[in-house]
Copies of this chain bind each other. A is one copy, B any other.
Amino acid sequence: MSVNELEQLRMKLDNVNLQILELVNLRAAIVQQIGQLKNKQGMKKFDPVREREMLNHLIQHNNGPFENSTIEHIFKEIFKAGLELIEDDDKKELLV
C-alpha cells in the first residue's frame, strides 16, 4: 500500500530529524565550551581559516545526494548560529 509506504518514509524522516536536532545541539554545546576557553585565552571567536578547514573537511567526506554547494550552505548556517550563540553568552556575562 502506497499510503503506508509514504507513512513509513515520513516516520523515517521524523526519526532522522530528531537525530539531526540532537547533534546540532550537541555541536552548539561544544561551540559554547570552545567559546569559554577562547574567552579565558583572549582569543577571537570567529576564525575564518578554521571555518574554511571544517567546510573543506565536510566536502571531502560528502557522498551526496546533496551537492557540495548545498552542504556548504547548510553548514554555514549552522556555524553562524553557533557563533551567534556564543556572542549571546558573552553579552549575558557582561550583564551579570
* Chain A interface residues (CB < 8 Å from chain B): 2, 5-6, 9-10, 12-14, 16-21, 23-34, 37-38, 40-41, 50, 54, 57-58, 61-66, 70-71, 73-75, 77-78, 81, 84-85
The 18 listed contacts between A and B (C-beta, < 8 Å) are A2-B40, A5-B37, A9-B30, A13-B27, A13-B30, A14-B54, A17-B27, A17-B57, A20-B20, A20-B23, A20-B78, A21-B58, A24-B74, A28-B64, A70-B85, A73-B81, A74-B74, A74-B77
A41 contacts across to B, CB distance below 8 A: 2
Q: Let me know if B6 and A34 touch, CB within 8 A.
A: yes
Chain B residues with CB under 8 A of A18: 57-58, 61
Chain B residue nearest to A69 (CB atoms) is B81
Asked if residues A23 and B34 are in contact (CB atoms below 8 Å), the reply is: no
Please give the distance in Å from A18's CB to the nearest CB on chain B.
Answer: 6
